[in-house]
Structures are given as structure tokens and as C-alpha cells.
Amino acid sequence: MSTQAGGSSDAAAIAVTLGDPCGIGPEIVVKACNDPRLDAALRDRLIVVGDPGLLQREAERLGLPAPRVAEVALPGGPLPADLPVGRVDPRAGDAAYRFVVHAAGMAMRGEVAAVVTAPLAKEAMHAAGHAYPGHTELLAECAGGADVRMMLANDELRTVLVSIHVPLIEAIARVRRDNVLSTIRIADAALRHAGIERPRLAVAGLNPHAGESGMFGREEIEQIAPAVAQARAEGIDASGPWPPDTVFMRARGFGEFDAVIAMYHDQGLIPVKYLGLDDGVNVTIGLPFVRTSPDHGTAFDIAGRPGPDGRGLADPRSLLAAIRQAARLARVSGPAH
């Protein structure tokens, strides 16, 4: 692979952000870009968005070739070689933020077909003065305030969230007809774009037993059911509200649904993550470009630690899944140009 992408563009390329430099992002990015489990043509399409010096040092540590990189100019200059690994550092948080903004800009200008983001540390990003709850909200701002949702997916289950990184009491307050309806519409459009002709969407209830006809809460009657009815009137194959303790099993085990609309973060993410962190992919839907990420965090506890083979403990499988998913969603195939 070439070591520098500079300002060149390839509309069929996939930008991969380096993530928090103090976490496992650099390690899994270098590993993924060299992993034979990825098709060679797809590996050739990857452009890492980050700090070239850090990327080169990590490649040397792992004994692997350095991927090509789109350099991001940092206000304080290149990241120092002695940046502490495995700890929160505002310099790393600022760099991670700028990597994402740069990659989003590439996608908005049509220079890349998709963006795959390695994990960032919210605490480090906040310490650097960038007060975003996570990637999703930052990317929505980069896209001009797009109405976006988080979808977590693996080969067995897809869930789309009405609310994301907010306290549970606020998440409950956001279970409103317009929010639920918007989520159903965004999910339907995203799955149609992914090639599902008429997505079957199951809408979970908020309360136990989906409220049990109002005995355990009225959100299902007053907010969720009207949203489902309006979606169906628009030709969307939505149903519910279904009891949340069984609807995920129905989607996964019995294949009744193509995705489940979950009312809040943990309701939707726990079922997917329970099936395995290595295969889960986070997809931001509603953006004007494709964005995916692995379903795990920065793993400071193992960052920089050598594995039995001398190449580090971090496993790139979830990042590989995110890259493959991005390629599918962006309809990227064939040799690079």
C-alpha cells in the first residue's frame, strides 16, 4: 500500500478514522488494513484519516506495512511519540475529533464513498472542549444538522434507536409520536437503500408487556401506536407496539422482522451486543453518506499491550465487519481506481 494519500480523492474509497490515539484504534486500523480476511480490492480502497507519524509508529510496532493515510493537520502539530497509551488525554481527544470532522468533510465532498470510524473516548473529546455525546451527534452536525438515528446490526439482528446518548428519564420523555414516526421513516429508507425492497419493521413498546393495554403506562396507546398507524398509512410495513421482552427474539430467531425499532439506547443495544461484540456494527442512518463503526470502545486497558504473537491484544474483527458493511451499503465493489 502507498503510505500517503495527501489531498487526492477517490470517490469509491472508504475513509477509516484512526479513533482515539491512546486507545486501540490505531492498532485495529493497522491490522484491518492488512487483514487477508478482507478482499484485496477492498483493502486497496481504504484511506486512513489520521496522523501519519502515529500510524507509521504503530505499523512498525506491529510489524505490518503502514496503510495509506489522509493527513489531518492538528493545531498543536503532529502527535508526540510519547503520547501516553491507555489513558485519557485531551490531545488525543482533540485529534480524534478532528479525524472525524475531516473524514465527514471528505464524504460530504464526494471524495470517499463511506466513512468507518474507529472508537473515540468521549471523556478525552470533552476534555479537549468538544462536548458531543458521541460520533452520531458529531456526524449529524457535520452533515448540516441531519436527522439521524443509530442502527446496530449483525448477521442475526438489526435494531434502530429512537433516542441515543441521553439519561433514561430523558429517553422516556422522547418517546413521542413524531420521534417514533421519524425513526420508522429513517429506518425504512435506510433498509430500502441497503437492498431490502419492503422492510418489515417491528416497533417495540416502552413499558413492560407494551403497557398491557394501559395498565403499566400509556405511552404505547398515546404515542407509539399512532406513529405506527401513520407509518402504515404511508405504505411502510411497520407493526406494534410489541412487548420488548420478546420482540427481539421474534426478529432474530423466527425472522419475522428485518429490524426492531427500540425506544432507547439499552433496550436496543443489549440484545445485539449480547450476540457478540466482534460481529456487531454501528450504522448511522439518515446521513447523506454511509457511516459505520465497530461495536466496542477504546479498550484503554489493552491498548499498546503486546499479544502472544507480539502484535498486540486488540482484535480487529468488529472493525472488519464495519468496513464490509460500509462497502455493502455504499455499493463499493471491484478494483480501486
In this predicted model, what pLDDT tens digit does every residue of 26-80 receive, in sequence order? Answer: 999 999 999 999 999 999 999 999 999 999 999 999 999 999 999 999 999 999 9
Which pLDDT does position 309 carry in this prediction?
A: 79
| pLDDT over threshold 70, residue 116 | yes
Sheet holding 259-262, edge to edge: 69-71, 46-50, 14-17, 114-117, 290-294, 281-285, 149-153, 158-161, 259-262, 200-204, 237-242
Cβ(260)–Cβ(274) under 8 Å? no
Q: Is the dihedral of CA 245, 247, 251, 255 positive or negative?
A: positive
- CA 5 and chain centroid, separation: 24
Domains in the chain, CATH or no CATH each: 1-147+287-337 (3.40.718.10), 155-275 (3.40.718.10)
Which pLDDT does position 336 carry in this prediction?
A: 39
The grid cell for 137 is 451527534
% of the chain surpassing 90 pLDDT: 84
Nearest Cα neighbor of 291 from 179, 137, 92, 96 is 137
Mean pLDDT of the chain: 92
Its pTM stands at 0.88
Which pLDDT does position 307 carry in this prediction?
A: 81
